[in-house]
Amino acid sequence: MIFRGLLGHGRCRRANKILILCDGGGSNSSRHYIFKEDLQKLSDELKIEIRIAHYPPYTSKYNPIEHRLFPHITRALQGVIFSSVDLVNNLIKQTKTKKGLKVFSSILEKTFETGRKVAEDFRDNMKIVFDDYLGNWNYVAVPQCC
């Protein structure tokens, strides 16, 4: 089960829900059903509700990760000539702050398939519950098993 390997599981063993903050664009856009289909599969596999809150377009600057993580990674990479992906990965892994921020990094070797299409029956059978307020940007993937 993937949940055992998720960071934070040791601190939140009794958590019964996950909240994910997402930017509004790219492959995890609020408009893409392929993202919702993959999210539903993850929810089913983990047997846990996953709530998604998308930032509206042009508001990713309010995403906490933009301010709490990226400046420190930028500082760790400053002045270095990137000669390999491993070098960059190792520098990112070494990023930390006096206040206790520790960065975890890994290289994905997987080749991701492009041009994927959502399953024809997904929209009719999905267990994605859209919120009444701003439902385009806020929704929950409910596991089908529970």
Rounded average pLDDT over 22-27: 74
Question: Tokens 């999905």, residue?
Answer: 126
CA atoms in the 13 A half-sphere facing the CB of 114:
0
What are the extents of the domains in the chain?
16-107+124-141
Confidence of residue 1 (pLDDT cuts 50, 70, 90): very low
Tokens 């929950």, residue located: 140
Q: Are 53 and 138 in contact (CB under 8 A)?
A: yes
For the entire predicted model, the pTM comes to 0.71
Each residue's pLDDT tens digit, 33-92: 888 999 999 999 888 899 998 888 777 777 777 778 888 999 999 999 999 999 999 999
pLDDT at 7: 58
Is residue 20 pLDDT above 70, yes or no?
A: yes
